[in-house]
Amino acid sequence: MTEYLIRRVLQSVLVIFLITILTFLLIHAAPGGPTQVMLSPGLTPEIFEQQAKNLGLDQPIPVQYVRWIGDLLQGDLGYTFKNHIAVSDLLWPRIGNTVILMGAAWLVSLLIAIPWGIYNSTKVYGLSDQTASFISYLGFAMPTFWFGILLQQWLSLKLDWFPLSDMYTRGKEGDIGDLFMHLVLPITVLALGFLASYMKYARASMLEVLDQDYIRTARAKGVKERKVVFRHALRNALIPIITILGLDLPILVGGAALTENVFNWPGMGRWFVEMAGAREYSALMAVTIVTAVIVVIGNLLADILYAVVDPRVKLGKQGGKTA
Amino acid sequence: MAKKRKWWSSLLVVSLVGVLFTGCSTNNTASSPTNAPAATAAPAESTAPDATEAPAADAPVDGGTLVTSTFSDIVNLNPLLINDTSSGDVAQFVFAKLYNLDREGNVQAEDWSLAAELPEISEDGLTYTVKLKDTPKWSDGQPITADDVIYTIETGKNPETGSPLISQYDKVKTVEKIDDHTVKFTLSQIYAPFLYALVQEIVPAHILKDVKPTEIQTNAYGTDPAKTVTSGPWKWTAWKQGESHTLDADPNYWGTVKPHIAQIVYKIYADQNTEVQAIMKGDTDHISAIPVTQVEAVKADGDIDIIQKPGAQYEYVMFNFDGKNFPDNYGLFAGQKTRQAIAHALNRQGMVDNILKGVGALMNAPFLPDTWADPGEAAVNYDYNAETAKKLLAEDGWVADPKDGILVKDGHRFSFELQYNAGNSRREQVAAVIQQNLKDVGIEVTPKAIDFAAWIDQNVTPGKFQALLLAWSLNTPDPDAESIFSSKYFPPAGQNSGWYKNEKLDQLWVDGYSTVDQAERKEIYKEVGKEISTDLPYVFLYQYGQAIGTGPRVHWAEEDAPEPSLGYGQFFHAIKWWVTD
């Protein structure tokens, strides 16, 4: 197991290194740069060239890359070009904000989706199953930003039950109750989206398992239905669900740009889009690194949980499973 | 705020003390008077202890917080580097300028200006002597002196700094200290717009003098509130990146006129739609730009004052005169009559009425309507007339292809790409109208939206496009526009991106700034207007504006109301505004 982990980590480091090179090349290939902002009469391109030079952006790309990776190895994520603010000062608070929002939405949706999906798999096409299907369709079909605006119009502007946007009311920063009130609407929007897919997964993978021979055997032996579902079927049904959850882990830090925009949530998704528009190379690279690390961790976690859930899977030498 | 209750309480207040509020509606320029009392109805539901039992609302009150908003964060507050609207917005509150503009756009030494009186301009128009007040202080208590002014100008015009101010000060030959409060500028040539270049924030020499010009950009001054010494009525207390700025009234502010508002919060929203929702909710009190599509919804809300007037910006279609951008090097826009035909073919008034919802004014020259340089009748006005357009095109040798009706000349089809920046819904609509209008006269237009940063870098700056749709925001009221129309300023170093060359105009622009006599200049710009509107490097479309919205908590006397025609005019005289809770 340890040997397996070490091998996986080394592989991952190599992959991440290659990703950084590729991303660095890609974002520098995009036209424009961090210094160009506004057009006004008299602002000649020479001014912006001089600014780029003052920021070291006139250096060849390989030189810039080496400089960046050198800083990174010393734990320094660099500075924004536009205003020389440490990227780490910008990144970590946003990751925190996004984890709060996405984590809460994710938990809410899992707590509803998985039990409900399992329940529906035992009563296919019942009323509950039909309702769940309908909600899933809504979740898939409704554009999040549109649904978000709808909720704002109705529950905030009209009824005044919830705050319109932001993370905290001005002057109440850090107040948990206030944060909770601000979370309700965006979580509703995000959870509906997650709910739709997780419910489908849970139901489908349960149905697949319930169709297996050993389940039929169990039932034939006269095992109670409850025990069949929870003891025999569920453990096997969870395996694909865990895979999906592991692969979805990056969502937690990636954020959801559109929802964050509508609810003015100071999170990663929105920031990333903003930084891409502004060609803030260091910030974009920082996001890339963090996301890549999370993806790798997510995959690793999924594999380890596999072994926990499914005794047939052995990690390491004997097992056939490597990344 | 609960709307219903609000409505009741307003009604109540109206019935009780309706008479008192006559003075209040002076600040409501664009809405029904019913919302004026609503502002004072707030105490009914606010918990603020200072809920002044409605003093006659025309008497300013001190204290309170004004929340204003924007949809992009600042870049840098260092006046040497300010080049985006958000940084400019915040600078209005925290920095004093040498001179300020009055509502008509004239340079003045106001109570809150650093200068004591208007500059003394020598007979030959080459030297400007500026006298500073002896009271101004930086927020750290140091006096603001001639040294600060000299440092600002010299660093701004130093090419190594990369400062946008270089274009304002490149004609300054020397700037000398006469005494601690007197500065003498000597220009290398007569340059009339220089007066407006003195409407400028100053930076503290005692903080920055040892910083290399190439390192100004990476210096903490301008990006770290704790290290940014300011000179205005409010100081920069805090910046939560991407979220908000907090500006607090500076207790040591040197000016004789003190601000009423104790704190300004400058909030950053993700986009304009979110911002509009927030002002309707009451989360923000002031918004600089309501998208035209939303103005009606905000008006229906009833609580929000809307000031709508065209501002200091105009939209245009630029032709590219460099044949290299066309198949077989055949410049489609070479014929003057062809360009005039295009001007006739475009339904500019229709754009103003339908897309700008009436808030815009047609332009025929690069001078804003109703300013002193507006050539008025002297400029050729192109009415919307497809028949005239077709006639002119035929005279210029264009013949319709019998197959599809597209015009052809010398074997070249009249078909071009019109570029604009993606995400600008106004331009998207205008481009569609242009496409349709020109299709009606046999010209095929392909609108193309491109990401802004990429577009500027790949097309606009190097002058590589066929035609484009863009706007100029004029940051000074001076009519000089040599840097965008003169052949001295071809790409890539200059901003004449369409490679337009007209020797007569080149000379007229120089004449225009080579005298400080306004009457003389007016005549020259009339001549410019006539020539440029005949020759058409651009089709000038219209001056347009942003609707400014303010919530019921914000008040001002009539002479201090926002002025959309000025740059940053949405905060005009904010030092005299007050808020009620």
Assign 3-class secondary structure to B385-442.
CHHHHHHHHHHCCCEECCCCCCEEECCEECEEEEEEECCCHHHHHHHHHHHHHHHCCC
Q: Which of A37, A41, A50 sits opposite B481 (nearest CB)?
A: A41
How far does B422 lie from chain A, in Å, by closest CA?
Answer: 12
| Tokens coding B324 | 């290299």
Q: Return the number of other C-beta atoms located less than 10 Å from residue B359's C-beta.
A: 19
Rounded to whole angstroms, the Cα distance separating A138 from A195 reads 10
Query: How many structural domains comprise chain B?
Result: 1
Q: Is A32 on the interface with B (CB under 8 A)?
A: yes
| Residues B196, B198, B203, B208, Cα dihedral to 10° | 100
Strand order in the sheet with B182-187: B120-121, B127-131, B182-187, B172-179
Rounded to whole angstroms, the Cα distance separating A214 from B235 reads 74
Cβ distance B223 to A83 less than 8 Å, yes or no, reads yes
B568 contacts on A by Cβ (under 8 Å): none
User: Which residues fall within 8 angstroms of residue B159, CB to CB, at 6 or more apart?
Assistant: A46, A50, B166
The beta-strand segments (E) located in A63-147 are none
Banded model confidence at residue B48, pLDDT cuts 50, 70, 90: very low
The beta-strand segments (E) located in B13-171 are 65-70, 100-101, 107-108, 120-121, 127-131
User: Which of A35, A40, A154 is best to mutate for the B interface (most B CBs within 10 A)?
Assistant: A40
Q: Is the pLDDT of residue B267 over 70?
A: yes
CA nearest to A80 within chain B: B218
| Chain B contacts in chain A segment 283-312 (CB below 8 A) | none
Q: Is B538 on the interface with A (CB under 8 A)?
A: no
Q: Is the pLDDT of residue B20 over 60?
A: no
Q: Is B474 on the interface with A (CB under 8 A)?
A: yes
Banded model confidence at residue B284, pLDDT cuts 50, 70, 90: very high
Cβ distance A54 to B214 less than 8 Å, yes or no, reads yes
| pLDDT score for B5 | 41
In the chain, the amino acid numbered B163 is: S
| pLDDT score for A303 | 80
Q: Is residue B562 a contact partner of residue B31, using CB atoms and an 8 Å limit? A: no
Q: Is the pLDDT of residue B173 over 60?
A: yes
Rounded to whole angstroms, the Cα distance separating B469 from B318 reads 6
Q: Is B165 on the interface with A (CB under 8 A)?
A: no
Rounded to whole angstroms, the Cα distance separating B207 from B394 reads 66
Q: Which residue range forms the structural domain that includes residue B156?
A: 100-213
Q: Which of B164, B217, B222 sits opposite A55 (nearest CB)?
A: B217
Rounded to whole angstroms, the Cα distance separating B220 from B208 reads 10
| Residues A176, B69, B420, B395, Cα dihedral to 10° | 160
Q: Is B350 on the interface with A (CB under 8 A)?
A: no
Mean pLDDT over the full length of chain A = 87
Please name the residue that has the structure tokens 């005279």: B395
Rounded to whole angstroms, the Cα distance separating B164 from B61 reads 39
Cβ distance A264 to B474 less than 8 Å, yes or no, reads no
DSSP B305-369: EEE----SEEEEEEEP--GGGSGGG--TT--HHHHHHHHHHS-HHHIIIIISTT-EEE-SSSS-T
CA nearest to A46 within chain B: B493
Q: Is the pLDDT of residue B21 over 50?
A: no
Q: Is B446 on the interface with A (CB under 8 A)?
A: no
Q: Is residue B546 a contact partner of residue B312, using CB atoms and an 8 Å limit? A: no
Q: Return the number of other C-beta atoms located less than 10 Å from residue A57's C-beta.
A: 18
Q: Is A77 on the interface with B (CB under 8 A)?
A: no
Cβ distance B453 to A277 less than 8 Å, yes or no, reads yes
Helix (H), strand (E) at residue B445: strand B444-450
A280 contacts on B by Cβ (under 8 Å): none
B512 contacts on A by Cβ (under 8 Å): none
| Chain B contacts in chain A segment 124-183 (CB below 8 A) | 149, 152, 156-157, 160, 163-166, 170
Cβ distance B277 to A260 less than 8 Å, yes or no, reads no
Q: Is B242 on the interface with A (CB under 8 A)?
A: yes
Phi and psi torsions of B151, nearest 5°: -60, -45
Q: Is residue B21 a contact partner of residue B35, using CB atoms and an 8 Å limit? A: no
B227 contacts on A by Cβ (under 8 Å): none
Q: Which of B217, B451, B475 sits opposite A54 (nearest CB)?
A: B217
| Tokens coding A255 | 């954020």
Cβ distance A41 to B484 less than 8 Å, yes or no, reads yes
Q: Tell me, what CATH number does B167's domain have?
A: 3.90.76.10
Q: Write the secondary structure of A176-212 as one string of H (helix), E (strand) and C (coil).
A: HHHHHHHHHHHHHHHHHHHHHHHHHHHHHHHHHHHCC
Rounded to whole angstroms, the Cα distance separating B524 from B532 reads 12
Cβ distance B457 to A31 less than 8 Å, yes or no, reads yes
Determine the straight-line distance between the first and last CA of chain A, rounded to whole angstroms: 14
B219 contacts on A by Cβ (under 8 Å): 84
B241 contacts on A by Cβ (under 8 Å): 85, 89-90
| Chain A contacts in chain B segment 63-102 (CB below 8 A) | 67, 72, 74-76, 83-85
Cβ distance A40 to B164 less than 8 Å, yes or no, reads yes
Rounded to whole angstroms, the Cα distance separating A256 from B234 reads 36
CA nearest to A267 within chain B: B242
Domain-embedded: residue B51: no
In terms of C-beta density within 10 A (0-12 exposed, 13-18 middle, 19 or more buried), how is residue A171 classed?
exposed
Domain-embedded: residue B502: no
| pLDDT score for A36 | 67
A160 contacts on B by Cβ (under 8 Å): 1-2
pLDDT digits over B95-143, tens only? 999 999 999 899 999 999 999 999 999 999 999 999 999 999 999 999 9
| pLDDT score for A37 | 59
C-alpha atoms less than 13 angstroms from C-alpha of A139 in its C-beta half-sphere: 22
A37 contacts on B by Cβ (under 8 Å): 75, 83-84
Q: Is the pLDDT of residue B11 over 50?
A: no
How far does A219 lie from chain B, in Å, by closest CA?
Answer: 56
With b for 16 or more beta-carbon neighbours within 10 A and e for fewer, the B128-157 pattern comes to: bebbbbeebbbbeeebbbbbbbbbbbbbbb
C-alpha atoms less than 13 angstroms from C-alpha of A259 in its C-beta half-sphere: 28
How far does A44 lie from chain B, in Å, by closest CA?
Answer: 5
Report whether CATH 1.10.3720.10 matches the domain A92-312: yes
In the chain, the amino acid numbered B431 is: A
Phi and psi torsions of A111, nearest 5°: -60, -30
pLDDT digits over B238-251, tens only? 999 999 999 999 99
Q: Is the pLDDT of residue B90 over 50?
A: yes
Cβ distance A36 to B270 less than 8 Å, yes or no, reads no
B285 contacts on A by Cβ (under 8 Å): none
User: Which of B3, B82, B218, B263 is best to mutate for the A interface (most A CBs within 10 A)?
Assistant: B218
Rounded to whole angstroms, the Cα distance separating A145 from A147 reads 5
User: Which of A50, A261, A270 is best to mutate for the B interface (most B CBs within 10 A)?
Assistant: A50
Q: Which of A51, A83, A164 sits opposite B277 (nearest CB)?
A: A164
B461 contacts on A by Cβ (under 8 Å): 45
Domain-embedded: residue B146: yes
| pLDDT score for B533 | 97
User: Which of B7, B216, B223 is best to mutate for the A interface (most A CBs within 10 A)?
Assistant: B223
DSSP H stretches of helix in A221-280 = 225-227, 234-248, 250-254, 257-262, 268-278
| pLDDT score for B14 | 35
Banded model confidence at residue B51, pLDDT cuts 50, 70, 90: very low
How far does A283 lie from chain B, in Å, by closest CA?
Answer: 13
- Residue B515 in 3-state DSSP? coil
Write the CA distances from B236 to A159, B222, B310, B498, B570, integer angstroms. 36, 10, 31, 41, 19
Cβ distance B274 to A262 less than 8 Å, yes or no, reads yes
By DSSP bridging, strand B65-70 and strand B263-268 are parallel
| pLDDT score for B42 | 35
Per domain, the residue ranges of chain A are 1-74, 92-312
Positions in chain A short of pLDDT 50: 319-323
- Residue A320 in 3-state DSSP? coil
Fill in the DSSP letter of residue B27: G
Cβ distance A38 to B494 less than 8 Å, yes or no, reads no
- Residue B99 in 3-state DSSP? coil
**What are the CB-based long-range contacts (under 8 Å, 24+) for B108-117?**
B111/B255, B111/B256, B111/B257, B112/B232, B112/B233, B112/B255, B112/B257, B112/B575, B114/B144, B114/B149, B114/B202, B114/B231, B115/B198, B116/B181
pLDDT digits over B367-406, tens only? 998 889 999 999 999 999 999 999 999 999 999 999 999 9
B280 contacts on A by Cβ (under 8 Å): 157
Per-residue pLDDT, averaged over B308-330, amounts to 94
Cβ distance A41 to B472 less than 8 Å, yes or no, reads yes
Cβ distance B274 to A261 less than 8 Å, yes or no, reads yes
Mean pLDDT over the full length of chain B = 89
Q: Is the pLDDT of residue B302 over 60?
A: yes
3-state helix, strand, coil in chain B (%, to 5): 35, 20, 45
A321 versus B22: the higher-pLDDT residue is A321
